Chains A and B, each alone.
Chain A
Amino acid sequence: DVVMTQSPLSLPVTLGQSASISCRSSQSPAYSDGNTYLNWFQQRPGQSPRRLIYKVSNRDSGVPDRFSGSGSGTDFTLKISRVEAEDVGVYYCMQGTHWPYTFGQGTKLEIK
């Protein structure tokens, strides 16, 4: 299985500051169709996960532009600029190229 390694696992952030989460995959999630199926999900406390980013950098409808995804090869990053209280939760990366699709361990974002 492809191993997705996130860092940090805990991320205390001051309101209004930026936050960055790293996701490293043991194999590249680049697919032969030219797409890289790397996704980011947010899980707020007590809620189901929801997708924020797909194919590395495409933001879902309704996701604030404070959220951005980047990366290539085996290294990917989710950046949150101007963190707000509603951003508290756990963030997961997931590769959707190699079956079984695999998630990172999750990064818990909290407000300092």
Chain B
Amino acid sequence: QITLKESGPTLVKPAQTLTLPCTFTGGAGVGWIRQPPGKALEWLALIYWDDDRRYSPSLRNRLTITKDTSKNQGVLTMTNMDFADTATYYCVQPLTPGTLDLWGQGAMVIVSS
């Protein structure tokens, strides 16, 4: 059974850069979705098994997604963090096109000075 696990800081200051690793036990693509408290889900970025990268158009200039298949790890970097970026960040895995087969437990990130 494939699992995903997010790690990283729970508290960041405004203007800092957030780095979120996700370790997975199978598959080859990985993505990130976030959910502000009490709000809906929002796509951030996705990297497929062939290194095709997709970014949210509204956040593209702040995001970088990479993966290291040898380490079974994907990493999301988000620059210039703001209070509005406070959310639970979910690592997700598409094993087939057009869907999200698996979700991690989520990592709560709070932006506070």
Binding site for B on A (CB under 8 A): 1, 31, 33, 35, 37, 39, 41, 48-51, 54-55, 92, 94, 96-97, 99-106
Contacts and interface: CB of A to CB of B under 8 A. Distances in A.
Interface string B73-113: 00000000000000000100010111111011110000000
Given A48-B104, A103-B43, 15 more contacts: A35-B97, A35-B98, A39-B98, A39-B100, A48-B105, A51-B100, A54-B96, A55-B99, A92-B41, A96-B94, A96-B99, A100-B43, A101-B43, A101-B46, A106-B40
A49 B41 contact: yes
A63 B93 CA distance: 19
B56 A92 contact: no
Contact of A100 (B57, B96, B103): B57
B106 A103 contact: no
Contacts of A99: 54
B98 A55 contact: yes
Interface residues of B, number: 21
Q: Tell me whether chain A's interface is mostly helix, strand or loop, or mixed.
A: loop
B42 interface: yes
Nearest to A99: B54
The 9 closest A-B pairs by CB, nearest first: A37-B98, A96-B98, A48-B103, A103-B41, A54-B99, A100-B43, A106-B40, A96-B99, A39-B99
A2 B55 CA distance: 15
A48 B57 CA distance: 24
B82 to A, nearest CB: 20
A108 B23 CA distance: 31
Nearest to A96: B98
A31 B99 contact: no
